Amino acid sequence: MLPAKAHAVITQKTGPANEVLSFEEVPGPVLKPNSVVIKVAAASVNPVDFKFRAGNIAGMSPPKIAGGDVAGTIVASSVPTFAVGDRVFGRTKSWGAHQEYLVHDPSDGGLVKMAPSLPFEEAGGAAIVALTAYYGLVNYGGLLPDKEFEAGKGPRVLIVGASGGVGHVAVQLAKRCLGASFVVGVCSSKNAAFARQMGCDEVVEYDKEEFKQLDKLADLKPEWKGSFDVIYDTVGSDVFYHPLAPLLLRPGAPYTTAAVPVDGAGAKPVSLWSAVGMIGKVGYRTVLGARPYRMVIPDNKEWTRIAGWINEGKVKIHVQEKIPLQEAARAHDLVAGGRVVGKVVLVV
């Protein structure tokens, strides 16, 4: 039987996490047609959650329950594809995962059953970053998931932000699922070993003296010049785009990005001036950039394929910290700090 009452983290208005997020009692879930009710076990905090809370997501206004990733157990179902007791994970485009029970319509393909060996916290941090990583490399980046390559002949990939949520999955997808023969990660030196563990062949530690001038990278690594098939940027800073895009990509190869190039796109509201600057940069790069420039917008269509790799253990979600749902504000602040290695996941 479904409970009459449950709890949710509600973003009441825009502002600092500890002032505007409240953990509240809400009416219990009600099963609708073509839906499932998921007893949420884990749901990650993504940058979009704190950007929304900060008032930086156009067209979305509070009050709202954030959370686009979910993992949990089906406790009621009106669809033939999922039964009570199924452990599931995926993405809810309509948000709402930061609560104890989620009523979800799975018809867009964003929900898949979990392998028995997959822990909830890893599953609950998977969908948004994995879909974003995949779309950046494949749909926008041109890598071919079904192609077999001779040893050493696979694509060459460079990933900016290789230690973050999207980046650490992008490295694994490139190396373990998409045939890349050479993967370079860009991250801070404290995370270089982690990036290598994820599958990077080489790491550009951007805070190390030898790499500080990234426009000299091609002098340091002449064999890299014009050799990459895709650069996937999950940070979005000018610091990376200008030196890396024209120097390292082969002609025609794309610079894909998950992150908009906007100053201050953290936990504070973006100024009008920064927003205008961002539109200018995207326009300039798209029309006049030395290489194709593509903003990544992922869909759920590939979730079954990607979830299969996660279920097999081919792609692992690294969880830096599990935080109880009641302490969502702490999780928001951690993610907004921009230095998370892998994921921060709320657990119920």
Subset of residues 32 to 61 that bind ligand NAP, contact rule: CB under 6 A:
46-48
Binding mask 298-337 for ligand NAP (x = CB under 6 A): x------------------------------------x--
Closest distance to ligand NAP from the beta carbon of 139 (Å): 12
Amino acid, res. 330: R
Closest distance to ligand NAP from the beta carbon of 257 (Å): 8
What is the spatial distance between Cα 107 and Cα 88, in angstroms, rounded to a whole number? 14
What is the spatial distance between Cα 127 and Cα 303, in angstroms, rounded to a whole number? 8
Place of tokens 């179902």: 77
Q: Contacts with ligand NAP: how many residues (CB under 6 A)?
A: 28
Residue 167 near ligand NAP by CB under 6 A: yes
Closest distance to ligand NAP from the beta carbon of 31 (Å): 30
Among 106, 154, 165, 261, binds ligand NAP (CB under 6 A): 165
Name the residue with the smallest CB distance to ligand NAP.
164
Residue 164 near ligand NAP by CB under 6 A: yes
Which residue lies nearer to ligand NAP by CB, 218 or 340? 340
Residue 187 near ligand NAP by CB under 6 A: yes
Binding mask 234-253 for ligand NAP (x = CB under 6 A): xx-x----------------
Residue 292 near ligand NAP by CB under 6 A: no
Q: Provide the binding-site residues for ligand NAP, judged by CB under 6 A.
A: 46-48, 128-129, 132, 161, 163-167, 187-188, 191, 234-235, 237, 258-259, 296-298, 335, 338-341
